[in-house]
Structure 1
């Protein structure tokens, strides 16, 4: 089934091989999308060989790839990396 059709039905499974995310994932719509309600989606990691069960990073210490901030820093509104370009 094409990915767009799977999303329209509310569930899609796929594989990622990026810098932070690896292996199989499923994306499932858990709310909304009709009658003007905002959509909410749940991303779940498959229990495959790329899944970590021991030695995984504590999610409270993980940093955003984009800003370099922890979840606590994001919640507190503290500044992240300076993204200005230098000549």
Structure 2
């Protein structure tokens, strides 16, 4: 994986988390409280400054219902469309 691929992956995760958080009607602070992250950490994920690790992704799924499977499917679709 190149740095460009890593940057794109992190950006797509951030966009997805932000969209899902907004759809749930949660602020960054409220979302962070649900998934045991600080508001700053949520912001860093959404701005692609930090990539959530496996356990964080699990907590996001378990505490908000955000589907990790759907997250990766959406990332794959987005990556595929960028390559066209």
- Structure 1 length-normalised TM: 0.24
- Between structures 1 and 2, the one with greater helix share: 2
- Between structures 1 and 2, the one with greater strand share: 1
Find the structure with the greater CA-based Rg.
1
Bigger relative contact order (CA 8 A; separation at least 6): 2
